[in-house]
Amino acid sequence: GGVGRAPDGELLIVGRRGFVFHHGASGLTKLDITPPSNNLDRLKQQFADGVFSDSGFREDGFRFNDVLAIQVEDEWRLLLSYTEWFEEDLCFTNTLASAVVGDEDWSNWRVGEDDWRIVRRAAPCIPYRPGSAIIEGIEAGGRLAAVDDRRVIWSSGSYGRDDQYLRQSIPPNETLAQRDDTEYGKVLRIDLVSEEVEILAKGLRNPQGLALAATGDIWVTDHGMRGGDELNRIPADPAAERPNFGHPLVNFGAHYNKKSIAASGQHEGHIGYTQPMMAFAPSIAPSSVVSRDEFGGPWEGDVMIGALSGKVLRVVVEEGAVRLIEPIKVPGRIRDM
């Protein structure tokens, strides 16, 4: 799941199954919010009926990925990001849904299943592929951050479909993360009023970390393969060329079988693609990123990366370059910060 800021400055937490909690001085409170249907029950029934007899099913990967409370005009809305299954077409999407919750008093929020409205289903619906895991939901990305009082940014992973593009003989320009007509392997900006969608960056694998800096830059941590984890920056300048971070064509890491990711067998310095601000070898398993300007003191403006490997990394960025990475060990896997 993920965490977000509640209107009172405390925390909202969404669990893997979509239930929402408030955490603050009074402890942990489960809210009266029924999540939108992701059709997991129908998928499980189809699996039990033998529709996918040749495939495995990782139920733990079929999950809700983030929560965001945002005030749009004069009403508070709750956003949830999750993977959604479509039983008739045997396909799935990365989905963003919204529900009006009223005012800022979270203790009065009441949301039924029918109160949700779909903001966006990433296009296209990804079809079931025989002989593979039905849904690689652990590579969904699905993180949310508010830009202002009507726009959000949303990360959308490539669901593992591009990892073996060479083995599957997929032309490079037809991979999900590289195609301009898909919303996977991308960072999107969505206007909640007009519902306009803009692709801000492409060429990502599993962007599990997403944060907006005070400068307007967007920080993205991409969960790569073997030694391919990245800290990436999307510039705030609207006139700047939108970055293409290169997945699955170039990466400083390797496949899990240790073979090179680059199509030519060489990294070639990411020629033609946007290099990451930092790549991590060995992998750190980045799951989240925080950019804050109120740390104060020597941490003012630093970027913090949370990792499933049991650490937080303080990253000092000066004059457009990473100057220092300080690992801080913590007793557990960091899912979100």
Give the DSSP per-residue string, 18-62: S-EEEEETTEEEE-EEPPPP--HHHHHHHHHTTTTTTS---GGGS
Does residue 88 register a pLDDT over 60?
yes
Q: What is the pLDDT of residue 63?
A: 94
Q: Which residues pair with 289 in a beta bridge?
A: 305
Q: How many CB atoms lie within 10 A of CB 269?
A: 10
pLDDT, one tens digit per residue, over 173-216 is 889 999 999 999 999 999 999 999 999 999 999 999 999 998 89
Comparing 85 with 164, which gets the higher pLDDT? 85
C-alpha closest to that of 114 among 19, 36, 41, 40: 36
**Among 18-32, 108-122, 131-145, the least confident range:** 131-145
Phi, psi of 269 (to 5 degrees): 60, 25
C-alpha closest to that of 303 among 201, 200, 230, 226: 230
Q: What is the pLDDT of residue 267?
A: 58
190, 216, 265 from 148: Cα distances, Å: 11, 11, 43
Q: What is the pLDDT of residue 55?
A: 67
In this structure, the dihedral spanned by the alpha carbons of residues 218, 219, 225 and 228, taken in order and rounded to 10 degrees, is 110
pLDDT, one tens digit per residue, over 250-306 is 888 887 777 777 655 555 567 889 999 999 988 999 999 998 776 778 888 899 999
202, 178 contact by CB (below 8 A): yes
Stretch 147-162: mean pLDDT, rounded?
95
For all residues of the chain together, what is the average pLDDT? 91
Does residue 150 register a pLDDT over 90?
yes
Q: What is the pLDDT of residue 134?
A: 79
DSSP classification of residue 168: T
